[in-house]
A and B are shown apart, each in its own frame.
Chain A
């Protein structure tokens, strides 16, 4: 049941992506609206699927596949909020395909769970997981905003505006979006890492167990700290800040997917 719902959500996101991408090519408000409705429908189904899973299992995501599904969900949630905030639907043309990628990967990965040690089924794990999830979702949004910024900037600099020039929002809006997403994501990630460290201390007796994910997350955190500081204090904005946001997100993706395969440790995935 819950798996069927997950596939249905994936299908709805996929349809929404096609609509969103199509409306990048041709200006068609109905298509864009339809894509928005499909994405919300996908989100609703996805929410039900995750709720069923939570109710049945009563534990946080236990493998990479589950984590990615939660990640995709959080990204859509953050996206819907920004769509309302900025009254710009075009952002979906970049976010929703990314969501399809995340959820698609989730569906393709093995579903088996290495049994979770009992001490990990507590509120501490929940806090840690939810905070890092939301933080990373905000960074995903910042990355999409940055990508759109770079595309629009190139249109304006080239002086030969094409289709994207008309479809994409203003540089100002995109830069604001990136800034907002970073200033939300960073404190969430910070708290997420802190709660993780406390959790590690209570479970393993040490704040840091030096597994790949921890190390890489700290690297990412330092990177985002520098970027945010540069934006706030150094007046970094525009193209360079956008490129850094994209690099930062690559770090997030690596921390989520790759770091653990290099050095296995206390993170099950």
Chain B
């Protein structure tokens, strides 16, 4: 009995191929049922996202199950095995467990730490449970995977930093102003980019939006969409004393704000900090304005730089997450180990023997008048009672262990007799 992962992902296969093998949500139950026809596959689930198509299974014999899976996928997706076999990876035992844990924890993702994958894995598992395609081992495995994912999320900062330009801008604004509620933002230029940025800021609770544009009609139109106010381009300067965030994206061929302008503005603001985002090319604001105290000026490259730095931060946190995953994998494999028959029989005998010795000792300590022969006879008697009781269940357990559901018997026996995992 083995746990296997067979599949392909963004790391091994191009989008073209992933598309061809993609399983739509509606087709998933059917696909799972089809896999059930294979005698080698005891438990199964399928995960299909835009970045990966993977089968997780508990199988009797790895090679047979692999062959069946490949042919099955080829047939269902009308491909020939050669089309995708070179992109497939097959993982077994510990490696398969680790892979599943890493996928659920978003460590194997294209953008490490992206949060959607856990939901997708949960949904895929849910479907498999509905189709009764899972059993003891896969159920436990997935529960441990979700647990590991939760720990990674809460105990590492893997998902805390912004990894897109617009979210990086929001993150910076929050690091300057704290809460963005009630803050005022001004858009200079009414292009698509500034509209998008304003949308993001409003979602964060920004209080008011002012749009300044050369074409006042366009400014009014955009301002209405955000419940904001339009001002003529020439009046923008006066508003800069009041607003907290300025997003500049004019098509002007020259700078519209010099360092001296901002020095004056910051003085009139009585040093209240201002966050300037210059997304225009060529730039609208003199980059040297960033040297002024309480002025924070970021252009597109700067924001990109923050994204890169955040990605590195995520990678550092991901490294910590890996060691956490190691521990979770070790815990799961030790549970898996406990499902083996021989150690269970030994543990069972040990437990029963220790009960026998303890009880025997207690009784013999009270019976002082017995001869050594009588003591010996009582000891033999207890031994044979214990052995006779154990004989049938142990024989049956050994017989079952050769069959496919052996681990179920082991699991139940361990539960009934309270034998702990070691």
Point out residues on A near B: beta carbons under 8 Å: 26-30, 152, 155-157, 159-163, 165-166, 169-173, 235-240
Residue contact B157 to A236, C-beta cutoff 8 Å: no
A235 to B157 CA separation, bound complex (whole angstroms): 36
Q: B393 to nearest A CB, angstroms?
A: 44
Residue contact A27 to B273, C-beta cutoff 8 Å: no
Q: Is the interface of B mostly helix, strand, loop or mixed?
A: helix
What are some 14 contacts across the A-B interface (CB < 8 A)?
Answer: A26-B320, A27-B160, A29-B154, A155-B175, A161-B309, A163-B316, A166-B157, A169-B178, A170-B176, A170-B177, A171-B178, A172-B273, A238-B273, A239-B293
Which residues of A have CB within 8 Å of B290? Answer: 157, 159
A169 to B313 CA separation, bound complex (whole angstroms): 17
For residue B306, CB closer than 8 A to chain A, the reply is yes
Residue contact B155 to A30, C-beta cutoff 8 Å: yes
Number of B interface residues, CB 8 Å?
31
Which residues of A have CB within 8 Å of B172? Answer: 156
> B309: which of A162, A170, A172 is its contact (CB, 8 Å)?
A162
Residue contact A159 to B293, C-beta cutoff 8 Å: no
Residue contact B273 to A157, C-beta cutoff 8 Å: no
Can you list, as one digit per residue, whether each of B151-193 has a CB less than 8 Å from chain A (1) or not (0)?
A: 0001111001100000000001011111100000000000000
Chain A minimum-CB-distance residue to B174:
A170
**Considering the complex, which residues of chain B in the window 260-313 have a beta carbon less than 8 Å from any beta carbon of chain A?**
270-273, 290, 293-294, 296, 298, 302, 305-306, 309-310, 313
Which residues of A have CB within 8 Å of B155? Answer: 28-30
Q: A159 to nearest B CB, angstroms?
A: 5
A43 to B316 CA separation, bound complex (whole angstroms): 34
Residue contact B271 to A166, C-beta cutoff 8 Å: no
A149 to B176 CA separation, bound complex (whole angstroms): 10
A152 to B320 CA separation, bound complex (whole angstroms): 24
For residue B108, CB closer than 8 A to chain A, the reply is no
- Which of B161, B174, B294, B298 has the most C-beta atoms of chain A within 10 angstroms of its own C-beta? B294
A239 to B154 CA separation, bound complex (whole angstroms): 33
Which residues of A have CB within 8 Å of B154? Answer: 29
For residue B195, CB closer than 8 A to chain A, the reply is no
For residue B317, CB closer than 8 A to chain A, the reply is yes
With A29-B155, A157-B290 given, is the CB distance from A170 to B271 under 8 Å?
no
A239 to B290 CA separation, bound complex (whole angstroms): 14
Can you list, as one digit per residue, whether each of B313-332 has a CB less than 8 Å from chain A (1) or not (0)?
A: 10011001000000000000
Chain B minimum-CB-distance residue to A156:
B296
Residue contact A171 to B175, C-beta cutoff 8 Å: yes
Residue contact A27 to B305, C-beta cutoff 8 Å: no
A171 to B298 CA separation, bound complex (whole angstroms): 16
A169 to B270 CA separation, bound complex (whole angstroms): 23
Chain B minimum-CB-distance residue to A170:
B178
> A235: which of B160, B177, B270 is its contact (CB, 8 Å)?
B270
Add 13 more A-B contacts to A159-B290, A173-B178 (CB < 8 A).
A26-B317, A157-B290, A160-B305, A166-B160, A170-B174, A170-B176, A170-B178, A171-B175, A171-B177, A171-B273, A237-B271, A237-B272, A238-B273
A172 to B183 CA separation, bound complex (whole angstroms): 12
A170 to B190 CA separation, bound complex (whole angstroms): 29
Which residues of B have CB within 8 Å of A239? Answer: 293-294
Which residues of B have CB within 8 Å of A161? Answer: 306, 309-310
A250 to B231 CA separation, bound complex (whole angstroms): 49
Chain B minimum-CB-distance residue to A167:
B157
A28 to B157 CA separation, bound complex (whole angstroms): 7
**Considering the complex, which residues of chain B in the window 224-259 have a beta carbon less than 8 Å from any beta carbon of chain A?**
none
A238 to B271 CA separation, bound complex (whole angstroms): 8
Residue contact A157 to B296, C-beta cutoff 8 Å: yes
Chain A minimum-CB-distance residue to B291:
A157
Which residues of B have CB within 8 Å of A240? Answer: 293
A161 to B311 CA separation, bound complex (whole angstroms): 11
A173 to B290 CA separation, bound complex (whole angstroms): 21
Q: A132 to nearest B CB, angstroms?
A: 31
Which residues of A have CB within 8 Å of B175? Answer: 152, 155-156, 165, 170-171
Residue contact B309 to A235, C-beta cutoff 8 Å: no
Residue contact A237 to B317, C-beta cutoff 8 Å: no
A104 to B209 CA separation, bound complex (whole angstroms): 53
Which residues of B have CB within 8 Å of A238? Answer: 271, 273, 293-294
Chain B minimum-CB-distance residue to A237:
B271
Which residues of A have CB within 8 Å of B298? Answer: 159
Can you list, as one digit per residue, whether each of B89-128 has a CB less than 8 Å from chain A (1) or not (0)?
A: 0000000000000000000000000000000000000000
A85 to B246 CA separation, bound complex (whole angstroms): 30
A121 to B232 CA separation, bound complex (whole angstroms): 72
Which residues of A have CB within 8 Å of B317? Answer: 26-27
